[in-house]
Structure 1
Amino acid sequence: MDILSKILPNWETDLSLQKQYVPKLKFFEKEKGKWYLKSHDSEGKDKLVYNVATGKSAPEEIVRQLFLTELTEHYHYPKNRLKCEQNVSFGRNGRGRADIVVYQEDETTPWILVEVKAPSQKNSIQQLKSYLNNEGSPLGVGVNGNAITRLFRPYPKEFDDSLPDIPTEAEYQQVKDEEHPAASIKDIILGRKWTLSELEKINENKQFNLRKIIEVLEELVLANSGADSFTEIFKLIYAKLYDEWEAENRKDKSLLFRQYKTAEVTKREIGKLFDDAKKEWKGIFAASDSIELTPEHLNVCVGELTEVKLFFSNLRIIDEAFEYLIPDVAKSKKGQYFTPRPVIDFCVRMINPSNKEYVIDPACGSAGFLVHTMEYVWNKYKMTTEKAKVNYASKYLWGIDFDEKSAKISRAIMLIAGDGKTHIFKQNSLEHPKWTPEITVELQKEDLISDDKNKHLHFDIVMSNPPFAGDIQEKSLINLYNEILGHRYTFKIDTGKIKAMINTIAEEFEITFTDEGIESIIAKVKEINKDEEIDLESEDDQQFACQLISQVMIDAVLEGELFEPQLTPRIKEIINFKKNESKWEKVDRHILFIERVLDLLNPGGRAVIVLPQGIFNNSSEKYVRKFVTSKARILAVVGLHGNSFKPHTGTKTSLLFLKKYEEGEEIKDYPIFFATSKISFKNNSGEYIFLQDKEGNVVLDENKNPVYQTDLSMIADAYEDWGKKRAKAGDVAFDFLNN
């Protein structure tokens, strides 16, 4: 697949709906440096797809040839009725060329029009509609290798629906002699047997991109429906999840989430599934909630979603879809960015949770940390039975998010991952005195909460990416975090009393200072106060400061003589220090989350927090570092690549790994593991980059998912080796790496 990799470096994902036909591609070098494919249509022309000299390629031709192969091998249409680049009309005066036309047996009447795009391009739905309406074709397909849309135009109407599939040649033969064959074809397709085994078979061969399906739905109907896209799509996903889950208990494992012969029947049946899902999985939707889409709009949405398997599906695809659904405005206002999967995988590995440790994410978003912890523990302890998996997930994994949509997403993703019961709560993690019994009662059952207005909890592990944006100005909330905020003060030499100190020294030692000397002494004191490297709360640094002042005083003498051994101790005795506490009008949200994370931990518990780089560098954030080091040992600090959170933000971030001190534990000096990621898993546009082998093929993991290009795994390897050596040498802080 060397040539294919040159044309489409990420072909495993770019051609996710056509991968089963990729081995059918037979590239040949017709001329030196020019690679071709023979077309699978009636003419069988040679198609240039890659020119080595110019580097030009034709990725859309790859998509076209793969779909032609599917038309012949899966749908069994004969090649003589498949033609490429056929002239068609669109709009009032427009002319164009359809990429593929499947003709009826007369070889002149269009049966299916196919519009092909390169994987990087969106399917042109409006153009496809126009082709159907002007050419009289009843069926249209838009395909780009990783997304597909099937439109249906019932004669003599213009476009009004989508279909879950296109007809096979055998189905065409059933209706070909009718005056209007398309009038019956929809009933035939919707009358097909539809069971869990059929759904699973389709998803074995195709990897659907749920995000792109949602984009199509927004263009087809949701943008003009007047309904909230997130809420309505989420209801459908919820109903479909329930249908797949319940199908296991049906005698023939039939699936009910599908289009029916009329839009009204579709709405009735999908509405029943949604109602049953609400009863089975309470707490996500209100009992009074219903699907608000019109029957016609709902019918289109159901047709697009029918073939996608959700339960136990690829969670990477689900994550991307939900990330897209959360409105950009809401995310930017709250700094609510979904944590990339490579970062989550890295954090979970570095924390190394055991099967008996309680884990919580107080800003859980789409439950990424929880789901990956769940999968990590399942694999680590070889939990293969459903009972073992669910028992672990439903007992040890907890999440909180203040945003209603994020909480719903977390619950749904935990359901998709296989956890029948979820401890995901819509609460404000920071405003713990106002938590409702919904969460406190559940925490009490597991003995995870203290009787101090919910301030201190007893979790073993906290993993979180708290919101960066959004100042908190509510005094009542700020006052809950006096511990960390109380560390923001200045402790300096009182410059207002420096002249008095100079006079005292002059009298006691019977000396006189020059005027310039006095100014230099005052200047030195001010310099010391500004020096971030000098901590005047430290006895050693106070001694050092007094030595610096002593040296300047000795040089400033006009009459008499001073000696440092006698002068420095006297300066230390009479110098005045002043503590100036700060008044808080507002505070960054993530600052409060740092204290909250440590409050959630048991003594000896571990945490990882995603934080903006400034926390580690800025002099104004020194109080934060002082608070953290007074409460916990820093195990590691890992700087993430600047592209990690693109396209949402370019903010530089780092991961802070902590171990909370045991009660009464003596604070000693200790080594810290530092690393910076240099190989990004995203490009500058925020698109993922996948690892390739020497031949240019995308590398797949054991689950057939493309492996991200990143050095985070190498950093984790280095950390594990280093930490285990520390543990072997007697450093108990790293014993967890041997669990």
Structure 2
Amino acid sequence: MAKEIVDQEDISLEDNQLVCVITGEIKKVKAQEVNLQSVALMLNEEYGFDLADMERDFKIEYTDPDTSKQKKQKVELVVFEQGKPHEQEFISRICIIHDDKVKDTDKTKGLAATLENAMGAVESCEFGLWANGSSYHFLQKEEDALGFDSEFTDLSDFPGEGETLEDLDRADRSSSRKPANDSLIKVFKRSHDYIYGNEGRKKDAFWQLLYLIFCKLYDEKRKFIPSEDSYRRKFWVGVKEKNTAEGCKKVADRIKSLFKELKDDRIFSEVFSGSEEIELRDKGLAFIASDLAKYSFLDASIDVKGTAYETIVSNTLKQEAGQFFTPRNIVKAMVEMLNPSEHDRVLDPACGSGGFLVMVLDHVRKQIAKELYPDLEGPLLTEKFSSFEVNERVRQYAENSIFGFDFDPDLKKAARMNMVMAGDGHANIFHVNSLEYPNWEHPDEIAKINNAVNRSLMAMKDIATTNGIDAREKFDIIFTNPPFGAKVKVERSIIYKEDGTLNYKLGQYSDAPEVLFIEACYNFLKPGGKMAIVLPDGILGNPNTEKVREWILEKFKILGSIDLAVEAFLPQVGVQASLLFLQKKTEIERQLAQDSEQEYDVFMAIAEKLGKDRRGNPIYLRDEDGLELLFDTETKYIVNKKNGQKEVKTRREKLKQLDDDLPKIVEEFFNFLKEK
């Protein structure tokens, strides 16, 4: 999917308003309305139904069987047969949409009272959807044996434009739907909540869901295994399979055998220890698998997968560890500004769940795809991101060039999973305290790091072999957001050697971890290597850290500095921070700097707006009166036809734009480089 802002319309919105994607009308922001917009976009992009064939708030007429009186029922959203008049006899899909307070068993608004009644009144409509934002029910209408009454069957999905129910049930179906909008986030959250609430697995709901997610990923990756002559899905659920105990058992057996297979796979064995088991009941497993099976994870964008993954990780590992994600827009800006390529070895020495590494992988993936398919653009190019040729190059790059260290073993595992989610084979993620490298108390892990670095040197034909065989002075680029704050203590033994001399020169000025990490990063960088680091403003401005700044100026060339608004890490933690971009001086550059004072220009910027407020709510561009601006936007997306053909479609819509200074700052940074 590709979006291009065409121009700005003279329309503004109040805070509680949105523009309907179907009608273009301004509507009040309510939970039900938001759900309706989400369903409309889902039907458009994932199922291939044109917005022109949809209508909202449509009144269906029917005869009450008890009183024989004519009645009307208002339906939130209907889809008509392609190109046909918007009349009841041409309705092909009926969608009942509520907010999440309405339950599917509600006597007046629930499944039977609304969807079944409406579908029964429309002879042409075989399929329907009941949704409340957190629960989705797909129904099929069939006549009973005598042909008098309608029977309704619960489905795992219904067909899209030009599809049949049989198409969904084919095991040789090679592609699933590409998730649009917030679909994958909702599926992940819905699945997690189901395991947590219905399976009695409050302690390991997160891990049980991840096992299923990785089964799905592994199943999709099987398409690229040379021995797989004819790819047939194993992670799939027949449209009616979850409705019987026998069907649920078949699904469970199929997926559990897939999980055993993936644990022996070279890629996934790096993520799992081998003792893990899927321990959900057959019914719960089939329910969740039917939701996950609808979507292609490989085809989903990094933003979609990353946000969905972070949504569930942030509610478990991160909060338990007292750590928080670096916001994606900050990560993206840092990566774009240093612009890593396929020839750069990259490290995050405090990688957490791998946000920087995944963004680097995505950045390089786009470069590779453009190189391999120079004539493609927009959604046709985006589709190639998951092609075998691109995936193979990305896998090799990740295996050779991307490294992550973290002190938390659970976050190491989460980072590896995140990398696999991003489409990489595996990456070099290690459990180590970067401040103690190379003298950490676990020599086996240090040996693994050194071996991986040396394999990387050989694979990349890198002649940089300074300092023997370890990881110091081996990295071209470092991205990191090191732990900082008064609560994070660094042991004295890390700063000082047994004889009392310093391991870290900066240790004589400060024992703060963020200060020591600057020197650790310096040690890991090649001469001439670059780094982007998040630092609290105190280091850059407080009088008592002047010596730290002098050390930085001696060792590095300052490429740029971006002062972040206080909202940057809120609502998780309030800290005034900056992004610092540095380049390690070569020995010659250091000597020249000592001989004479060298002046050079430094890029500096202030990011006053970061697209969110202090509570984490999104903020949008506004006009002089404080009203949110709307921009006329073209959205291009691909619809897969039944005959295997692909069609690029365009949707014009009026969208708000986040009030975020970072994309503009990145653009100005490259203008600054051109002018130097």
* TM-score (normalised: structure 2): 0.69
Aligned to 1:274: 259
SS of 1:102's equivalent in the other structure is helix
Q: Any idea what SS the aligned residue of 1:608 has?
A: strand
Give the Cα separation in 2 of the matches to 1:715 and 1:360. 24
Correspondence list, 1:410-421, <5 A:
410-421=415-426
Aligned to 2:130: 141
Deviates more, 1:435-444 or 1:683-692: 683-692
Contact 2:454 2:469 in 1 (8 A): no
Q: CA deviation at 1:655?
A: 0.4
Trace 1:322-471 onto structure 2 (pairs within 5 A): 322-328=309-315, 330-332=317-319, 334=321, 336-380=323-367, 382-384=370-372, 385-386=389-390, 387-432=392-437, 433-434=439-440, 435-447=445-457, 454=470, 456-469=472-485, 470-471=487-488
Give the Å deviation of 1:278.
1.6
Q: Distance in 1 between matches of 2:319 and 2:97?
A: 44
Deviations 1:568-627 (A, max 9, x none): xxxxxxxxxxxxxxxx8xx44323222211111011111000122222222343343233
Counterpart residue identity of residue 272, structure 1: S
The TM-score, its normalising length taken from structure 1, stands at: 0.64
Aligned partner (choices 85, 93, 101) of residue 115 of structure 2: 101
What is the deviation of 1:401?
2.5
Partner residue in 2 for 1:262:
247
Aligned to 2:479, the other structure's residue is in SS state strand
Deviations 1:292-334 (A, max 9, x none): 2222322222122121221142111221222222255753565
1:639 paired with 2:572, answer no
Residue segments in structure 1 that go unaligned for 5+ positions in a row? 28-36, 45-60, 115-139, 151-165, 489-583, 727-739
State the Cα distance separating 1:637 from its structure 2 match.
0.7
The one-character-per-residue Cα deviations of 1:54-79 (angstroms, maximum 9, x if unpaired) are: xxxxxxx99x6335669999xx9975
Is residue 278–residue 287 contact of structure 1 (8 Å, CA) maintained in 2? yes
- CA offset digits 1:145-176 (Å, max 9, x no partner): xx6523xxxxxxxxxxxxxxx2444xx24778
Report the Cα distance in structure 1 between the residues aligned to 2:535 and 2:557, rounded to whole angstroms: 17
User: Which string of whole-angstrom CA distances, capped at 9 and with x for unpartnered residues, describes residues 507-548 of structure 1?
Assistant: xxxxxxxxxxxxxxxxxxxxxxxxxxxxxxxxxxxxxxxxxx
> In the alignment, what sits opposite 1:17?
42
Which residue type is aligned with residue 612 of structure 1?
P
Q: Deviations over 1:27-67 (max 9, x none)?
A: 9xxxxxxxxx55153379xxxxxxxxxxxxxxxx99x6335
Indicate conservation of the 8 Å contact 2:119/2:126, yes or no. no
The alignment yields a C-alpha RMSD, in angstroms, of 4.5
SS of residue matched to 1:286: coil
Match of 2:504 among 475, 483, 491: 483
What is the CA-CA distance between 1:419 and the residue it aligns to?
Answer: 2.3
Amino acid at match of 2:206: F
Higher strand share: 2
Unaligned runs of 5+ in 2: 1-8, 12-18, 64-72, 159-164, 373-388, 458-463, 623-627, 639-649
Quick check: which has more Rg, 1 or 2? 1
Task: Report the counterpart of residue 674 of structure 2 in structure 1.
Answer: 724
Distance 1:67 1:397, change over 3 A: farther
| CA distance in structure 1 between the aligned counterparts of 2:452 and 2:290, rounded to whole angstroms | 40
Q: Counterparts of 2:97 and 2:217 in 1: how far apart (Å)?
A: 40
The one of 496, 500, 518 aligned to 1:594: 518
1:462: Cα distance to partner? 0.6
**In 2, distance between residues paired with 1:484 and 1:357?**
28
8 Å Cα contact 1:175-1:184 kept in structure 2? no
Match of 2:217 in 1: 241
Mapped to 2, the partners of 1:716 and 1:460 lie a distance apart of: 20
Contact 1:85 1:100 survives alignment (8 Å): no
Q: After alignment, is 624-633 or 282-291 more displaced?
A: 624-633
Match of 2:60? Answer: 41
Contact 1:612 1:652 in 2 (8 A): yes
Residue number in structure 2 paired with 1:253: 231
For residue 460 of structure 1, what is the amino acid of its counterpart? D
Letter in 2 for 1:467: P
Question: Taking structure 1 as reference, are residues 199 and 378 closer, same or farther at Cα in structure 2, changes over 3 Å only?
Answer: closer
Distance 1:455 1:391, change over 3 A: closer
Counterpart in the other structure of 2:489: 472
Moved more, 671-680 or 220-229: 220-229
Counterpart amino acid of 1:462?
Answer: I
Return the match for 1:65 from 76, 89, 93.
76
Say whether 1:679 aligns with 2:609: yes
User: Is the CA contact 2:143–2:150 (under 8 Å) kept in the aligned structure 1?
Assistant: no
| 1:426-485 alpha-carbon deviations (Å, 9 max, x no partner) | 333223222433222111223477657957231111111223354224332233774244
| 2:646 equivalent in structure 1 | none
Could you tell me how far 1:243 is from its partner in structure 2?
A: 0.6
- How is 1:119-134 mapped onto 2 (pairs within 5 angstroms)? none
Match of 1:203 in 2: 178
Percent identity, aligned pairs only, is 23
CA distance in structure 1 between the aligned counterparts of 2:658 and 2:605, rounded to whole angstroms: 19
**Does structure 1 conserve the Cα–Cα contact (< 8 Å) formed by 2:436 and 2:494?**
yes
Work out whether residues 326 and 355 of structure 2, in 8 Å CA contact, stay in contact via their aligned partners in 1. Answer: yes
Which has the larger displacement, 214-223 or 590-599? 214-223
AA matched with 2:258:
L
**1:209 offset after TM fit, Å?**
2.9
Q: In the alignment, residue 61 of structure 2 is paired with which amino acid? A: S
Residue 207 of structure 1 deviates from its aligned partner by 4.2
Aligned length: 550
Tell me whether 1:630 sits opposite 2:529 in the alignment.
no
The higher relative CO (CA closer than 8 Å, separation ≥ 6) is in: 2
